[in-house]
Amino acid sequence: MARIIKETFTIWFTCLEAATKADPDFFLRLTVAWNKIRVRCAKYARSLEDPIEVLPLHQDMKEVYGLMSNVIVLLYRLGWRPYHVCMV
């Protein structure tokens, strides 16, 4: 599982870097898409009451497809709260 997580985030940051270089307006569209997908995938977050709880994978994960959805779900499942995407 650690390898999948590492490779997912490596690909995410590689794509993010390439896209922001190619299109100056990409970040604005990314922010809108991130917020929509974050809300849609929030049900895969760990419980705030029991942060140790590891949620089982849902049988019905129709909302999770594509790189951004998988990144957001991984962040939720790792106990993070991906409220916004930030480029520094």
Domain hosting residue 23, numbered range? 2-77
pLDDT tens figures, 38-57: 888 887 776 545 544 555 55
Per the domain annotation, does 39 fall within a domain?
yes
For the chain, give percent helix, strand, coil, nearest 5.
60, 0, 40
Per the structure, the count of domains in the chain is 1
Per the domain annotation, does 83 fall within a domain?
no
Record the tokens describing residue 49, joined without a space. Answer: 């009451």
Whole-angstrom distance, CA of residue 77 vs CA of residue 64: 13
Per the domain annotation, does 87 fall within a domain?
no
pLDDT score at 13: 93
pTM equals 0.75
